[in-house]
A and B are shown apart, each in its own frame.
Chain A
Amino acid sequence: MPDVERLKDRLASTPAVFRLADGGRDIALYAVVADLFRDRSTRPLEPAELAAFGLEGSAGARQPHLELVAIASWLLHDRAFQGADASALLRLLVNRLAALADHVRPHLFIEDGERREELVRTCLTELGLVPEGETKEVAEDRLASLDSIKQSALLLAARAREQKRAERRAELERIRRQEEEERRQAARTTFED
């Protein structure tokens, strides 16, 4: 069974060539992904499937997503993922990682301890693997508490709520100032009379 801590350590020591944003631009990502499927998955990818990670295909993909695919490829090359289902692995790389990259800067999945754990657990869950010493329910709970996508949604809601509250406060302040000015004007009029 895969050991989360060991996989986190692997992620923390991701080689520079897998960091596309930090000078790893020269590597051919489609080749890395092809190697990953060849070495660890149940079948190699078809050229059409690989296009999503190639130069032509990447035109439509967002750069942060590709950066995250490169980082995840290093992680997924670990022997713990040996025999990963090809369809599940492809879904993970194409869909799940794209969603994650929309919410978190990719380099944080190497540098931040919690984000490292999130990526490790995301990969394990998507490929149907349960971490060593945990049940499926416990593993799902842990991932839920780390879920950046969910947290981002909550953050957006909190932001909208606070913005409304700030607008309400500003409106109350405007009314207070207006009333104060009216009182001052009234006092001035009385004095001048």
Chain B
Amino acid sequence: MNAAAIAAAEAAFRDAWPRARVAFSPYTRLAEPILCRTEEEEKTEGLEGSFAMIRMRDERIVIGLRLVAARGLTAHAHAILAHEVGHYVHAPGTLREHVRLHDRIRRTLAAGLRSHAGLVANLYTDLLLNDRLQRSKMADIAAVYRALREGGDASLLWSVYMRAYERLWLLPPGALSPPLAPEGEADADLVARIVRHFRDAWLDGAASFTLLVEPYLEALPTDRAVVPPWMDTAGTSIGDGVPDGLIEDDFDPAETPHPALDPRLGNGEAPSDDEAAGALDHATGPHGRAIRGDGRPDRRKVVRGPAEWLDLMRAVGVKRDASELVVRYYRELAMPHVLPFPTEKLERAGEPLPEGLEPWEPGSPLDRVDWFETLGRGPVVIPGVTMVERMEGTTTGGEPERRPPDLYVGIDCSGSMANPAASLSYPVVAGVVLTLSALRAGARVMACLSGEWHGKGRFTETDGFSGSERAILGVLTGYLGTGASFGLPRLAKTFALAPKRARPAHILVVSDSDLFGEIDGTKDGWDILRRAVENAGAGGSAVLRLAQVGHYAGHLQKLRDAGVTPYLVASEEELVAFARAFSRRTFGQS
């Protein structure tokens, strides 16, 4: 492709940008598109097999000028850019909606076709925003597709897809696609109906669209391009940013009828919500989740399991380490329960007194950074190296200071506990709730997972008490699966055999009846526990799941005698409620 044509394309796209940016809304704020002149530049920006894309991870539009010039699309710069802006403004709009869309499509598709989820999502969102652009005359998208047709017809899927546009925009048959068999005509009509019906709630139509195009995916050609080179979201990774709000799952593929059987897509009047639900139940049959007492399907949201959530993240191209993602999962699950950690009032009081600088470590609150001193050390800010925070002592003052105790969270991670990366683990959720609450209140936390039995087995713990959320949650979301109980040697080493702590800490252990066996079977076990609680300085709690409480009355009394308050839960789910209540407890509040 000659340089003049590429230069002309570049000029056209630069000129078109200001008007295209506001095609959907005058308030759209979006960075200028990245215009790639060479193949190397396209590779650097991640543009492959398409002349345009919107990069979901940083919301940058990327245009490949070589392909634009080669396909004669220079004159359509406005329409192409307005389309890309549409992905940012309308569909999918946000990273979260992009992932939700991908999830719905992937779960609707048969297992062998799930690799096409990106293609289907791209086609569907294109339909929605192209229809909006064309109908409102903001951009002539049909002209772009006419120009793309010069490259030859792609696949039956594409022909049906183009015929749907002809129907939506009342174009004469053949304007964008070759003639179709009656089956193709019927499917194109259904695609148009899906767009019309789900225009304002587009995510709800994704599964219908997927069911409709599924047979065409099975018949995609392998000897030529499936669609013209304008797949602008299909191959883009969402990067490292994981959007919130994906833990809850409000979609059941079994509840979506095929569009041909969907009463909402007929020629009748729109039914009321109840009628629609009834008609949908009739169309989908007795599938889906549990049936409620009144015979209707249970449509309440459920929590997505960690394995399913991890699969979803992988499917949308998140490249973060699995352990980091598991932490992210439990953190989001815990956040609604996190409250300010209880603080105890000390009689000492004081006013802050500057006492010099110390390196600021990642994990420490950002508002503690002394930016003036940090930037004074050099123009490049490197966490842990050039970033510093000011240390402050106290002078005597009049107001009482509130200081929370540090927290030791010990979790039984023996063979009877579930792997938190594979299935939802409530002890881990509870641990994360407590940890985040403690850190929020300014306390430090030490986390320990232990799967031991009388000195044998494995454990993992943080390097002492720490303020690093990442390190603590990293330990809590790990998995051992060894031994039978939380190991008493952990408390012996950290507290009983160590000097009494200057700053008091509260010991909290989550386990079951095997904890009694562990203490009973250790020489001077109950004495070690008592000394550990004494040296910790702020009491102890044991959250236990016991099958027969009466049977363990003696052991529970021994715990109390050692300074440990037992809390009994009937199920693992109750652990979260306990963690929430513990954070709200009144000790230290006044």
Chain A contact residues, CB within 8 Å of chain B: 103-105, 107-108, 117, 138, 141-142, 144-146, 148, 151-152, 154-155, 157-159, 161-163, 165-166
Expressed in whole angstroms, the minimum distance between the Cβ of B182 and any Cβ of chain A is 6
Expressed in whole angstroms, the minimum distance between the Cβ of A104 and any Cβ of chain B is 4
**B166 interfacial by beta-carbon distance below 8 Å:** yes
Please indicate the chain B residues that have their CB under 8 angstroms from the CB of A138 in the complex: 172
Known: A141-B173, A155-B266, A159-B261. 8 other contacts (CB 8 A): A104-B267, A105-B268, A117-B170, A154-B182, A157-B186, A159-B260, A162-B258, A166-B258
Expressed in whole angstroms, the minimum distance between the Cβ of A63 and any Cβ of chain B is 14
Once bound together, how far apart are the Cα atoms of A88 and B149, in whole Å? 42
As a 0/1 sequence over residues 182 to 219 of chain B, the CB contacts with chain A under 8 angstroms (1 = contact) are 11011101100000000000000000000000000000
Once bound together, how far apart are the Cα atoms of A149 and B166, in whole Å? 18
Once bound together, how far apart are the Cα atoms of A144 and B179, in whole Å? 14
Expressed in whole angstroms, the minimum distance between the Cβ of B427 and any Cβ of chain A is 34
By beta carbon, the residue of chain B nearest A152 is B267
Contact in complex: A158, B187 (CB < 8 Å): yes
Once bound together, how far apart are the Cα atoms of A64 and B470, in whole Å? 67
**B167 interfacial by beta-carbon distance below 8 Å:** yes
Please indicate the chain A residues that have their CB under 8 angstroms from the CB of B261 in the complex: 159, 162-163, 166
Expressed in whole angstroms, the minimum distance between the Cβ of A178 and any Cβ of chain B is 19
Q: Which of A148, A154, A161 contacts B185 (CB 8 A)?
A: A154
Contact in complex: A146, B170 (CB < 8 Å): yes
The answer to whether residues A157 and B183 also contact, given A162-B258, A163-B261 and a CB cut-off of 8 A, is yes
Decide if the interface of chain A is mainly helix, strand, loop or mixed: helix
Contact in complex: B172, A141 (CB < 8 Å): yes
Contacts across chains A and B counted by CB atoms under 8 Å: 56
Expressed in whole angstroms, the minimum distance between the Cβ of B219 and any Cβ of chain A is 14
Please indicate the chain A residues that have their CB under 8 angstroms from the CB of B166 in the complex: 145
Once bound together, how far apart are the Cα atoms of A138 and B174, in whole Å? 13
Once bound together, how far apart are the Cα atoms of A142 and B170, in whole Å? 6
Once bound together, how far apart are the Cα atoms of A152 and B268, in whole Å? 11
Contact in complex: B172, A145 (CB < 8 Å): yes
Contact in complex: B269, A158 (CB < 8 Å): no
Please indicate the chain B residues that have their CB under 8 angstroms from the CB of A166 in the complex: 258, 261
Please indicate the chain A residues that have their CB under 8 angstroms from the CB of B172 in the complex: 138, 141-142, 145
Contact in complex: B186, A154 (CB < 8 Å): yes
- Selected A-B contacts with CB under 8 Å, 24 pairs: A105-B267, A105-B269, A107-B269, A108-B267, A142-B170, A144-B173, A145-B166, A145-B167, A145-B171, A151-B267, A154-B182, A155-B260, A157-B182, A157-B183, A157-B186, A158-B186, A158-B187, A158-B190, A158-B259, A158-B260, A161-B183, A161-B186, A162-B258, A166-B258
Once bound together, how far apart are the Cα atoms of A151 and B268, in whole Å? 13
Please indicate the chain B residues that have their CB under 8 angstroms from the CB of A154 in the complex: 182, 185-186, 189
Once bound together, how far apart are the Cα atoms of A162 and B257, in whole Å? 10
The answer to whether residues A161 and B267 also contact, given A145-B167, A146-B170, A151-B189 and a CB cut-off of 8 A, is no
Please indicate the chain B residues that have their CB under 8 angstroms from the CB of A151 in the complex: 189, 267
Once bound together, how far apart are the Cα atoms of A144 and B171, in whole Å? 11
Once bound together, how far apart are the Cα atoms of A117 and B172, in whole Å? 15
Please indicate the chain B residues that have their CB under 8 angstroms from the CB of A144 in the complex: 173
* Count of chain B residues with a beta carbon within 8 Å of a chain A beta carbon: 21
The answer to whether residues A162 and B269 also contact, given A146-B170, A155-B190 and a CB cut-off of 8 A, is no
Please indicate the chain B residues that have their CB under 8 angstroms from the CB of A152 in the complex: 267
Expressed in whole angstroms, the minimum distance between the Cβ of B211 and any Cβ of chain A is 9
Once bound together, how far apart are the Cα atoms of A157 and B186, in whole Å? 8
Please indicate the chain A residues that have their CB under 8 angstroms from the CB of B266 in the complex: 155
Q: Which of B170, B258, B269 contacts A145 (CB 8 A)?
A: B170
Once bound together, how far apart are the Cα atoms of A102 and B190, in whole Å? 19
Please indicate the chain B residues that have their CB under 8 angstroms from the CB of A142 in the complex: 170, 172
Contact in complex: A162, B260 (CB < 8 Å): yes
Once bound together, how far apart are the Cα atoms of A103 and B172, in whole Å? 23
Contact in complex: A158, B183 (CB < 8 Å): yes
Once bound together, how far apart are the Cα atoms of A138 and B166, in whole Å? 14
Please indicate the chain A residues that have their CB under 8 angstroms from the CB of B269 in the complex: 105, 107-108
Please indicate the chain A residues that have their CB under 8 angstroms from the CB of B187 in the complex: 158
Once bound together, how far apart are the Cα atoms of A145 and B260, in whole Å? 19
Once bound together, how far apart are the Cα atoms of A166 and B284, in whole Å? 10
By beta carbon, the residue of chain A nearest B258 is A162
Once bound together, how far apart are the Cα atoms of A14 and B167, in whole Å? 26
Once bound together, how far apart are the Cα atoms of A50 and B43, in whole Å? 74
Expressed in whole angstroms, the minimum distance between the Cβ of B256 and any Cβ of chain A is 13
Please indicate the chain A residues that have their CB under 8 angstroms from the CB of B268 in the complex: 105
By beta carbon, the residue of chain A nearest B174 is A141
Once bound together, how far apart are the Cα atoms of A142 and B175, in whole Å? 12
Closest 7 CB pairs of A and B: A154-B186, A158-B186, A158-B260, A162-B260, A159-B260, A141-B172, A104-B267
Once bound together, how far apart are the Cα atoms of A151 and B182, in whole Å? 10
The answer to whether residues A145 and B182 also contact, given A154-B189, A155-B260 and a CB cut-off of 8 A, is no
Expressed in whole angstroms, the minimum distance between the Cβ of B268 and any Cβ of chain A is 5
Expressed in whole angstroms, the minimum distance between the Cβ of A170 and any Cβ of chain B is 9
Please indicate the chain A residues that have their CB under 8 angstroms from the CB of B167 in the complex: 145
Contact in complex: B173, A148 (CB < 8 Å): no
Expressed in whole angstroms, the minimum distance between the Cβ of A77 and any Cβ of chain B is 26
Expressed in whole angstroms, the minimum distance between the Cβ of A100 and any Cβ of chain B is 10
Once bound together, how far apart are the Cα atoms of A107 and B173, in whole Å? 28
Once bound together, how far apart are the Cα atoms of A121 and B478, in whole Å? 68
Expressed in whole angstroms, the minimum distance between the Cβ of A39 and any Cβ of chain B is 31
Once bound together, how far apart are the Cα atoms of A111 and B118, in whole Å? 36
As a 0/1 sequence over residues 522 to 566 of chain B, the CB contacts with chain A under 8 angstroms (1 = contact) are 000000000000000000000000000000000000000000000
Of residues 138 to 184 in B, which have CB atoms within 8 Å of A's CB atoms?
Answer: 166-167, 170-173, 182-183
Once bound together, how far apart are the Cα atoms of A142 and B171, in whole Å? 7
